[in-house]
Structure 1
Amino acid sequence: MLDLGTLMGQCEAEARGLSLLLHPLDERPQALHFGPAPDFVLAGSLSELRSAASNLINNAVRYTPGGGRIDVRWSRLADGKVQLAIIDTGPGIAPEHLPRLAERFYRIDRSRSRESGGTGLGLAIAKHVAQRHGGELQITSKLGKGSCFALVFPAQRVRNKSLVVPQ
């Protein structure tokens, strides 16, 4: 069982460092908001889930301009599934790109991706990790308004923290 609070703490430290590098204090900083640690744990591979979460969060930091906002939070869905949602106020993504966005090496704008240091693999990795854990990567976006990237995991991978026996 994975302690998602610790995992998210690592992702938050990494994201804040990247944000500071891309948007120094003398510029308009990004507003990064990480929700509280969830009251549940998740069965899965720590290294894979960290990679998926880190890719999604770091993409939001890379593509959200200074002064923008990024919200990261875990939540339970009505059907027992859980999701990690990364919501940004970046430039958004045109609808025609959404179906192919998680393909390996697919790029909306090759020059922008090179400038931001992307490889074209982050979303494909996140999608693959979600699938290996019985879940999915969901992407919604509005051009000029921002995007939401969510890893959704099935209820059978979720346990209440209070019911987990320490090992």
Structure 2
Amino acid sequence: MRSTPKVAIVMGSDSDLPIVQKAIEMLETFGVEREVRVISAHRTPKMLDDFVLKIAEKEIEVIIAAAGKAAHLPGVLAAKTLIPVIGLPMKSSTLDGLDSLLSIVQMPKGMPVATVAINGSENAALLAIQILALKYPYLAEKLASYRDAMAREVHEKDEIVRKNFM
């Protein structure tokens, strides 16, 4: 059994990297190992097949798949593996990412892809961490601390606003 959790982040184009970088940083914050790849479901199907064949060997436990426009990458990955796939719809110039979002969430029965908001890379990473926390209890503790810190930040901001407007 692997002692360190591992997530693969696959993007259809390197133009997705500025958004995907936030997911990479979130995984690093939680100490989750990651492999980052650029693989197109349409332009490099052989590369995609090779990647899927090596998933078990690399002990990848969750995949985050970032894709724009037709956004087939998450669905194709979900069809080729049994590990959880999280779709990260990318904002595109055509329809502001709505095309990507709809392509990812409208998967046929039997091929689920969890999906986060358009450009929601931090939430994609956090969802991957939540999935991994089922196997790695220390991640659940880190998630609880992360949420506590978010709550404290909101309380602090509330205090500032209340003092300024009362």
Normalising to structure 2: TM-score of the pair? 0.30
Which structure's residues are more often strand, by fraction? 1
Higher relative contact order (CA 8 A, sep 6+): 1
Structure number with larger C-alpha Rg: 2
Normalising to structure 1: TM-score of the pair? 0.30
